[in-house]
Structures are given as C-alpha cells and as structure tokens.
Amino acid sequence: MRCLVLLSVLLATPALAAIEDLQWLSGCWRYDNEANGSGEYWMPPAGGMMLAVSRTVRAPRATTFEFMRIAETSSKSLALFASPSGKPATQFDLKRVSAREVVFENFAHDFPQRVIYRLTGENALLGRIEGINNGKTVGVDFPMHKTQCEFLR
C-alpha cells in the first residue's frame, strides 16, 4: 500500500529540470519536407529561458508561424509556452526530460495536448504533437535537421 501511495505522489509531481538540460535543443532546425525557409530556431538557454520561432513556407508565402518559450514556472519546473500564428500563449507543463527528449503536456487544451522534441540522430530532431482532435487520437510529426541559421533568409 505504501508503494502505491508513493507512486501516485510521484506521478502527480511535476517533472523537475533546469533550463540548461535542454541545451541540445538550441540551434537552427530545417523542416525536412518543407520549402526553404521552413523550420525552427531555438536560442540557447539564458536568463532562465529558451526562446524560439518557427515558420512554414509554401511558396510564395509563409503559411504558419509560431513563437515559443520554455521557462521555469512558479512550481520550479519547466513549461513550454506556445503562441501559434499570433494567438495567445498556451502553457504545456513538463512531463519528462532526458538528454535526448523532452515532453510537455496540457490535457485541457483542444489540440495538441502533448508536444514532444526528440533527438533521433546526431543532427536530426523530431518534433511531434499529439492529442485528441475531433474524437480521434492524432499525431503529427515534424522531422528536422540541424542547419546553418542562414536558412532563415
């Protein structure tokens, strides 16, 4: 019984991590299957946060963009704050983090409810969003490769 109580406390406790644990996410990442100029730029950790921008280009225009921030919360954990296409930021709380993966969740959000970044190779990153959309479980992958930041031009 005592183990069950401890397990339930651990599952309810937010994951703890330092922003420096996400250093591996910093840099310029080009979306594999999109036009030039499509991708994400994550600034290195500084001042207790990481900032990022993303954009998807489908010639001749950008079709989507997003501002993102990973920062420490009042509970001393980390959260991802995502503002797609100029909308107000939505907070996704840290679920787990390792040297190659970070998972954020917000089950009160419409879609997505989960945001995942996972290193899949030396210079390969998979961004993934998951959740329930129109009653169906949906996952969308964003494979990326590290590149020179010049792709932003």
For 95-114, write each residue's pLDDT tens digit. Answer: 999 999 999 999 999 999 99
Say how far residue 73 (Cα) sits from the centre of its chain.
Answer: 16
Annotate 52-81 with DSSP letters as a single string.
EEEEEEETTEEEEEEEEEEEE-TTSSEEEE
Helix (H, G, I), strand (E, B) or coil at 25: helix
CA–CA gap between residue 122 and residue 73 (Å, rounded): 30
Say how far residue 141 (Cα) sits from the centre of its chain.
Answer: 12
For 4-47, write each residue's pLDDT tens digit. Answer: 433 333 444 456 789 999 999 999 999 999 998 999 999 999 99
Q: What is the pTM of this model?
A: 0.87
Which amino acid type is present at position 85?
S
